[in-house]
Amino acid sequence: MKEKVIYWLTGSQTLYGADVLEHVAQHSEEMANYVNEHMPVTVKYLTTCKSSDEVVAAVKKVNADDDCIGIITWCHTFSPAKMWIKGLHMLQKPMCHFATQYNEKLPYDTIDMDFMNENQAAHGDREFGYIVARLRMDNKVIVGHYTDPEALKELASWCKVAAGLAFSKTVKVCRFSDNMRNVAVTEGDKVDAHINLGWQVDYYPIGDLVKYIEKVTDADVDAQMAEYAEKYTMATDRIDVVREQAKYEIAIDRFCKDKGGYIGIVDHFDALHGLNQLPGLAIQDLQSKGYGFGAEGDWKIAALGAVMQYMAGQKSTGLMEDYTYDMKDGLCLGAHMLEVSPQFADTKPEIQVHPLGIGGKSDPARLVFEGIAAPEAIAVSMVDMGDRMRLIVQKIELVKYPKKMPNLPVGGLMWKYKPNFKDGVAAWIYAGGAHHTVVSSVVTAQDMIDLANAWGMECVVIDENTEINEFKKQLTYSDVIYKSKF
């Protein structure tokens, strides 16, 4: 992520003379350099804008720079905001208005009008804020001194979101199957997703993959098996079954790279002609390498997973499915028939082979493990409401299994819903949230709200403050708002 650049643009004017502008440039450079040290991306001071033409020139540079993923604006002084209109209209990247200033404390003993002319961010913030509000831009506002750890933490999160937004525009999903027959919630408008999220979703017959599988050599498989041996515990003597998964993994990875860089993968247990197992271990290990995965044709989750995994730095993020409740203790057990990412493992994953009740194929190899605990995590679902996509974000607490489940042959997670079991489950159902989600203990609810804002997408949040009747009202209101928006 550090290769991605966010330009720092300072807003000013010529009213106070060249000396002031020289100081402002020095201050901006110093502030941007300090901020850069604390960001996951590179932050660079670009220029101080004093006129409409200068803003336009700066924004053209920002738009044309492929490494640039956004801008931070700082108005050290009153920057008459009509000069920002043309440039902001052209801006194609996300913007954070950093309401900060060079000095943290007022120099009470020495403050005079020279100081006031050079340091009037409180003044500048308001004029700039007005024009951004007037332009209806979904930007981010962060307030605090540029050395304040809280403000820097918020800014770092926003940088991660900006990087996720840029990454989203590059996401390509390779589907080896259509949606599972009759399933509604995994459907969606792929053209809408391409327009609004940048996701390119393409279908390939599974036979095209079979040709790749046939070309995998024994030496390739040996190398993949050595990699498995390093990361996982081999808890089966059915090595040939595991080698078959190694073949799938190599073939899928090569296929995705050869065909133009697919980073999302979709398969379906019922569409495996030419394969003798459902890819399990293969898909799990591919997720640990950054691939997003959607089961049963679920391309939305494959793409969302790839984006969120990227934002999380490939940590504790991936496909999940709400499976079964412990209603007594208010818990949910999440798993899938095979494909839960080892990014969630708390114990060293074991490679095991067991029968699979559906799909009619041979027993597949898979990773079995118990998931992590994390006090703060989120489950995210994206559903097509017919006229738009809705993002549903629920805060959850990941907990350890209260008891061992020795007969459960998959990787899994357990969690508690916010605000509580009953309201958490009810709110999710009212919102139309799917059984497939992307769970993360790294990406936060605020990150997803900011990402949804940048996408221009409806986002409903279920958290510790959710009250069901208010929540239902919000769904009704947002139905009206978002219908008119698209």
- Which residues contact Mn ion by CB under 5 A? 295, 321
**Smallest separation (angstroms) from Mn ion to the CB of 154:** 35
Q: Read off the amino acid at residue 33.
A: N
> In the complex with Mn ion, which residue's Cβ is closer, 285 or 321?
321
> In the complex with Mn ion, which residue's Cβ is closer, 40 or 409?
409
**Smallest separation (angstroms) from Mn ion to the CB of 292:** 14
Cβ-Cβ contacts under 8 Å for 381 (sequence gap 6 or more): 391, 392, 428, 433, 434, 436, 437
**Smallest separation (angstroms) from Mn ion to the CB of 180:** 8
Tokens of 455: 């996408």
Residue 8 pairs in a beta bridge with 45, 72
Whose tokens are 């979101």? That residue is 161
DSSP assignment string, 361-407: -PPPEEEE-BBPPEEEEEEEEEEE-SSSEEEEEEEEEEE--SS--TT
Strand, helix or coil for residue 419: coil
> How far apart are the two ends of the chain, measured CA to CA in Å?
32
> In the complex with Mn ion, which residue's Cβ is closer, 295 or 462?
295
> In the complex with Mn ion, which residue's Cβ is closer, 267 or 450?
267
> In the complex with Mn ion, which residue's Cβ is closer, 103 or 324?
324
Residue 299 · residue 201 · CB < 8 Å: yes
Helix then strand then coil, in percent of the chain rounded to 5, is 40, 25, 35
**Smallest separation (angstroms) from Mn ion to the CB of 371:** 17
**Smallest separation (angstroms) from Mn ion to the CB of 427:** 21
Cα-flanking dihedrals φ and ψ of residue 331, to 5°? -125, 160
**Smallest separation (angstroms) from Mn ion to the CB of 252:** 18
Radius of gyration of the chain (CA): 25
- 343 DSSP assignment: G
**Smallest separation (angstroms) from Mn ion to the CB of 333:** 14
**Smallest separation (angstroms) from Mn ion to the CB of 436:** 6
Residue 294 pairs in a beta bridge with 266
> In the complex with Mn ion, which residue's Cβ is closer, 68 or 295?
295
> To 5 degrees, how large is the angle CA 480–CA 484–CA 485?
115
> In the complex with Mn ion, which residue's Cβ is closer, 336 or 390?
336
**Smallest separation (angstroms) from Mn ion to the CB of 478:** 27
Give the integer Cα–Cα distance in Å for 276 and 255. 18
Residue 355 vs residues 75, 278, 337, 358, 371: alpha-carbon distances, Å: 63, 11, 11, 9, 22
Torsional sign, CA 10, 14, 20, 22: positive
Residue of this chain nearest to Mn ion (CB atom): 295
> In the complex with Mn ion, which residue's Cβ is closer, 125 or 321?
321
DSSP assignment string, 305-342: HHHHHHHTTSSSEEEEEEEEEETTTTEEEE--SS---G
> In the complex with Mn ion, which residue's Cβ is closer, 321 or 370?
321
**Smallest separation (angstroms) from Mn ion to the CB of 279:** 14
> In the complex with Mn ion, which residue's Cβ is closer, 144 or 412?
412
**Smallest separation (angstroms) from Mn ion to the CB of 270:** 12
Residue 13 · residue 77 · CB < 8 Å: yes
> In the complex with Mn ion, which residue's Cβ is closer, 244 or 296?
296
Beta strands in 162-240 (DSSP E): 172-175, 200-203, 233-234
